[in-house]
Amino acid sequence: MQQLYYTPGALSLAIHVLLNELNLPYERKPIDLKNGEGQTPEFLKLNPRGQVPVLVTDNQVIRETAAIIVYLTDEYNSILMPRSGKARANALEWLMFANSTLHNAYSKATFVLKNTEDATVKMQLFNAILAEINKLWAEVDAILAKNRFICGKDFTAADILLTVIANWGDHHPVRPTIGENTKRMLRDAISRPAFVKAIKVEQIDYKAAA
Ligand SMILES: N[C@@H](CCC(=O)N[C@@H](CS)C(=O)NCC(=O)O)C(=O)O
């Protein structure tokens, strides 16, 4: 059986939701990042970067959210990632946008909040990054003004990842601005049984869709 190493609400929630969407059995392995469990020798053997998610299959350890998502959707022939051509390119674009462009902007904010001592400088840097994050969400919102989901009429793995990241506002002194069209998509996403189940298990307070 596959094992998912996860921290409640982190990027690993997307894998948790996807495993539910695919109706796959898996064993949950919680990692308390705040208490240093990402840095134990056992966990570092699985992921030298000390990050979640990690998916362990029968004979392989898979790290990096996008890689795990593409592996699972390919392996189990899921409609959450189109199989080929332009539709696949578009879905991969938005998956990578969430996993690298948007996640990277949030990571910069986390870094600045953690490592800047001077309060004024900290807020100056944070506000600059917040503007970048808001611009990215505005781009998403403009697409969702026309489309039900980020790639069109169909829900894809990219929507799952956007929905997970959208709820990280609580970690910031000022919440990023999530547009109304995006909130509509988030409500659709979190009402899917796969999300409902994962949110309940991880005991997450999902506020971004309100
Ligand atoms: N590029 C990695 C990033 C993973 C990542 O940054 N995970 C965060 C949680 S969302 C983490 O484990 N951080 C380690 C820490 O906070 O110590 C991926 O996509 O899986």
Residue whose CA is closest, atom 6 of ligand 1? Answer: 51
Atom of ligand 1 nearest to the CA of 64: 20
> For residue 43, is it within any domain?
yes
> What is the number of domains present in the chain?
2
Pocket of ligand 1, beta carbon within 6 A: 10-11, 33, 38, 50-53, 64-65, 99
> Are 22 and 120 members of one domain?
no
> Are 187 and 91 members of one domain?
yes
pLDDT digits (tens, 9 = 90+) for 44-55: 999 999 999 999
> For residue 203, is it within any domain?
no
> In angstroms, rounded to a whole number, what is the distance separating the alpha carbons of residues 196 and 17?
9
CB pairs under 8 A, 24+ apart, for 92-95?
A: 94/150, 94/151, 94/156, 94/158, 94/162, 95/66, 95/69, 95/70, 95/156, 95/157, 95/158, 95/161
Res. 58 pLDDT band, cuts 50 70 90: confident
> Are 67 and 94 members of one domain?
no
> Are 128 and 95 members of one domain?
yes
Residues 172/96, Cβ–Cβ less than 8 Å: no
> Are 149 and 99 members of one domain?
yes
> Are 115 and 144 members of one domain?
yes
Could you tell me what percent of the chain has a pLDDT over 90?
98
Q: How far is CA 110 from CA 10, 104, 116, 166, in A?
A: 13, 10, 10, 15
> Are 97 and 179 members of one domain?
yes
Predicted local distance difference test score (pLDDT) of residue 170? 87
Question: Is omega for the bond preceding 82 within 30 degrees of 0, making it cis?
Answer: no
Res. 171 pLDDT band, cuts 50 70 90: confident
Show the domain range for 31. 2-75
Residues 83/35, Cβ–Cβ less than 8 Å: no
* CATH number of the structural domain spanning residue 171: 1.20.1050.10
Q: Per DSSP, what are the bridge partners of residue 29?
A: 5
> For residue 40, is it within any domain?
yes
> Are 137 and 181 members of one domain?
yes
Q: What is the mean pLDDT of residues 140-169?
A: 98
The mean of the pLDDT values for the chain is: 97
